[in-house]
């Protein structure tokens, strides 16, 4: 319904003028924002880095003991995705 009035979160480029891409938050898959082509790439890269750091930061089972079940689920999912 509001597709046309969406804007890039970074530069406010309007969906009326440019193609916008929906990007889901890597750690909250039910949340997303819209980005233009350039910023979409930046955000994807940023998400990648964050997810990798998260996988790495909790590599030891001892560290993972501090994660909530939901975070642990996310960790396992990301671990598979980035396959260290």
Give the CB-nearest residue to Zn ion.
Answer: 8
DSSP letters spanning 39-54: HHHHHHHHHHHHHHHH
Sign of the alpha-carbon torsion through 70, 71, 77, 80:
negative
Which residue, 6 or 50, has its beta carbon nearer to Zn ion? 6
Which residue, 9 or 67, has its beta carbon nearer to Zn ion? 9
11 lines the binding site for Zn ion (CB under 5 A)? yes
21 lines the binding site for Zn ion (CB under 5 A)? no
Residues that bind Zn ion (CB under 5 A): 8, 10-11, 13, 36, 39
């Amino acid at each position: 319904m509001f597709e046309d009035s969406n804007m890039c979160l970074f530069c406010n480029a309007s969906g009326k003028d440019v193609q916008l891409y929906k990007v889901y938050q890597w750690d909250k898959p039910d949340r997303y924002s819209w980005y233009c082509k350039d910023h979409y790439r930046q955000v994807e890269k940023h998400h990648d880095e964050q997810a990798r750091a998260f996988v790495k930061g909790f590599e030891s089972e001892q560290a993972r003991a501090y994660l909530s079940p939901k975070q642990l689920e996310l960790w396992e999912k990301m671990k598979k995705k980035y396959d260290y």
